[in-house]
Amino acid sequence: MAGKLNEKVLLAGRQVFWQDTLQRLFAKEGWDFYVLTKDFPAPEEVFRIHNVPVVLYVPDCQAEPKVWAPELNEILAMCREHEVRRFFLLEPLDAAQETAELMERVASAWRGERMSVSFLRLPEIYGPGQKPEEGLIADWLEAAIAGESRPGFIDLDEKREFLYAADAAYAVFRAVARDFAGESLAIASGQPASAKELARAIGEVSGSPLSLGVGEGSFGGSLPDSSQVRAEIGWSPRYSLKDGLAMTYAAVKDQGEARQMSARRDRRNLRVQEWKGKLVPYAENIAGALLMVIVAYFQGGTTVNPAIYFDLNFAYIGAMGIIYGKGQSLLAMMFSSAILLGVLLKAGANAVALMYMPEHLLHFVAYLFVAVFTGYFADARAFERQSSQWHAEQAQERYDFLRSLYDECVVVKDRLYRQIVNSDDSIGRLYRIIRNLDSVATENIFTQAAGVTAQVMGVEDIAVYVLGKDGYYLRQKVRKGRLAFQQPRSLRVEEYDYLKNLIAEKNIYVNRELVKDTPDLAAPILYQEQVIGVVEIFGLDFSKWSLYHQNLFSITMRLISASIGRAYQYEAEAQEKRYYSGTRILREEAFGEILQELRERRKMQGEMPLGILKVSQEGRSYEELDGICGKVIRNEDFMGERQGAFYILLPDADESVCQMVMDRLEREGITAMREENVL
C-alpha cells in the first residue's frame, strides 16, 4: 500500500465523534486525509486543489430529505466532475427504512463506469469522545456514573449491533484500501447485545448497576451476516463489547474526574483570591495602627516626632489612602484619631474640653483631609487602571478578530498558491503571458497583442486591425491562424454595424446571433479614450462563449491598451532620438528595431509579405523626401535610414503593392527599387 501513488481520501458530510480516529488511522497507513467542512474552504476548491480519488460521505439521516438530498447531490456532482473513482456512503444500520432507501436511490443514480458508489452500513458506533446525545451507550454510561435510571423497551431481550470506534475506523479503512467497489457492505461485528445484556455490561464496568424502567419502542435493529464483511475486506472486530465499554467508561470517567478536579481547583483559587483581596487591606491597616501605637509609646506618649516635629499618623493615613483608596484611608483616619485622643487623655486633657480647643480640632480635621485627599487620588488611579484594562480588553478583542481574519487570509493565500501551481488557468500562467506586453516598441506590442490574446483565450485565429487617422478604415496589422488569413486586409467602418457600435460605445462585441463574416468576439484597443485599433477572434470554441471568457478578453484588451499607451508616450518623448527632426524618417537604430520587430511578427504569423524599397536621394534632403514620400505611402508604412541609404518599408505588401508604390514615386520624380536581401 505504501507504494501506491495519490493515496488520498476525503471525508464529507456530517461530523462524527470518531472521525479523528479515522483520520489518524489513514495517516498512519500513509494516506492523505482531508475533511470537508461546510464553512471554509469552499467544497469546489477542495476537490480542485487536492484531486482526491476516494470520498467518504456521512449523511444526516435525522434530517428531512429536502435538507440532505441537495447536499448529497452537490457532493456527487463534484465527485463526477473531478473524476473521483470511488464514493462511499457511510449510513447507519438503524436508519429509517424509507430514508435509507431514498438515500441509496439518490446516490445510485450517480453510479457510472468512472465512479463506483458503495454503501457501507455501520451499526451504532461508540467510544471515547462520544457525547450522551450522540448515542445510546454514551447516554447509559453517563446515567450509570450519575446513578440515574433510563427508560426501557418493549422487548429487553431483542438484540442490536454495536461497534467500537477503533473497529469502525479500521473497517472503513479496509474497505477503501481493498478497493471495495460493490453495491453495499454491512459492517457487522457478529456480537449483538440486548438491552438487558448492555445494561448488565455497563453496570459491571462502572460498578454502578443501571436500572431500566418501563418504556416503549424497539431496541433491536438489523443483524446482518458478519461473514460477508470478512470475505469481502478481511475484517473482523478486535474489541468485544465488554472491552469497548471498559475503555469508553475509563475515558468518560477520566474526563469527568479531570473536569471536576479542574472545576474544584478553580473554585478554590477563586475563593482564596476573593478572601485575600478582602482581608489583606484590613490586616495591613490594623498592623499600621498598632505600629503607630508603638511609635507613640517610644516617643514619650506623643504621635509627633520630636526630631522633625511631624505627626507620623499623617504618613500612616496617607500610605493607606495611596495604596488602597478612600475606604482604607478613612479607617486609618479613625484609628489615628483614636490614638491621638488616647495620647491627649493620657496627658491629662479633658474629653469635653478637647471639643473647644481649636488646635486639637484642626488636628482631627487634618487627619480627615489627608484621608480624603490621598484616597481620592488612589481611587482616581484605580478608575484609570480599570479604564485602561477595559480598553486593553477591547483592543485584545479587536486583535483576536483581526488575527482570525489574518489566519483566514493565510489559508486563502495557501489555497490560491496551490491553485496557481496546479491550475492551467492560473494567475501565474496569465502573468507569464501578459509579461510579453512589457515593451515600449509600438510594433512589438501589436505583434504581442495577437500572441498574448491567443494564449490567454486559448484560440488560434486572431486579427489585429489599426484604425486610420480619418476613422473610416481599419487596416489589418497582425493576423494569426487560418481563419484570420481569410479576412480582408482593410475594413470600411461604415459597412459593418458591429464596428460602428464598437467604436462608438468602446465595448466588447459578442456575435451572439452568429452573423456570417463577422468575428465571434471583438474588442477595441484604446489610447486616450479613443479607439486606435480592434482585436478580432474567429472560430471560437463553443466552451469559450461564456461570460468568464468575455471578461477575460476584456481585461486582456485593457492591458494591451495600457501597453500601447506607454509605447506612444515613450515615442512622443523619444521623438528626437528616433526621428529626424520634423520628419517621419526613422534614424538608423530605430529603423533597425522596426525591421527586427517585423521579422519576429513574420515568425509568429507565418506568411507575411514585406516590401522594402531603396530610394535614390538624388541630392534631396530628408525634409524633401519626407514631404514627397509621405503623400505616397500608407500611415502604417515606415521610412528610415540604413547604412547611409534611404529606405521605405511596406509591411504586409506583396509585389503588386510594391510596384504600385514605385510607380507613384516615379511620377513624383523619385527612383526606387525593391531589395529583398535586407529582410
| Structural contact between residues 197 and 155, judged by C-beta atoms closer than 8 angstroms | no
Give me the pLDDT at residue 262, please.
74
Residue 346 CA to residue 1 CA, distance in Å, equals 99
Give me the pLDDT at residue 325, please.
81
Give me the pLDDT at residue 2, please.
40
Give me the pLDDT at residue 3, please.
41
As averages over each run of 10 residues, the pLDDT of the chain (679 residues) reads 63 91 92 78 75 91 84 88 91 85 88 88 91 86 84 83 93 92 89 89 86 78 84 91 89 72 79 81 86 83 77 85 83 85 75 68 82 81 82 87 81 63 55 69 79 83 85 84 83 88 88 85 88 89 82 86 81 72 81 81 72 80 81 81 83 81 83 72
| Structural contact between residues 480 and 605, judged by C-beta atoms closer than 8 angstroms | yes
Q: Which CATH superfamily is domain 430-573 in?
A: GAF domain (3.30.450.40)
Give me the pLDDT at residue 86, please.
93
Residue 44 CA to residue 257 CA, distance in Å, equals 43
Query: Domain-by-domain residue ranges, the chain?
Result: 277-398, 430-573, 592-674
Lookup: cell for 144? 450509570
Give me the pLDDT at residue 4, please.
45
Rg (Cα) of the chain, in Å, rounded? Answer: 46
| Pairing of the two strands 116-122 and 124-126 | unpaired
| Structural contact between residues 624 and 615, judged by C-beta atoms closer than 8 angstroms | no
Tell me whether the CATH fold assigned to 430-573 matches the one assigned to 592-674: no
Lookup: cell for 422? 496546479
Q: Is 592-674 in CATH node 3.30.70.270?
A: yes
E strands present in 73-217: 86-92, 116-122, 124-126, 159-160, 162-164, 184-186, 193-194
The terminus-to-terminus CA distance of the chain in angstroms comes to 63
| Structural contact between residues 110 and 87, judged by C-beta atoms closer than 8 angstroms | yes
Burial category of 504 from C-beta neighbours within 10 Å (exposed 0-12, middle 13-18, buried 19 and up): exposed
Residue 149 CA to residue 157 CA, distance in Å, equals 18
Residue 223 CA to residue 236 CA, distance in Å, equals 15
Query: How far is C-alpha 487 from the chain's CA centre?
Result: 46
Give me the pLDDT at residue 359, please.
74
Residue type, 482: R
Alpha-carbon distances, residue 427 vs 51, 342, 416, 486 (angstroms): 19, 90, 9, 33
In sequence order, the 6+-apart residues with CB closer than 8 A to the CB of 61 are: 68, 91, 92, 95, 96, 99, 100, 103
Give me the pLDDT at residue 259, please.
66
Dihedral angle over CA of 269, 274, 276, 277, nearest 10 = 140
pTM above 0.75, yes or no: no
What is the phi/psi pair of residue 653, to 5°?
-125, 125
Give me the pLDDT at residue 606, please.
66
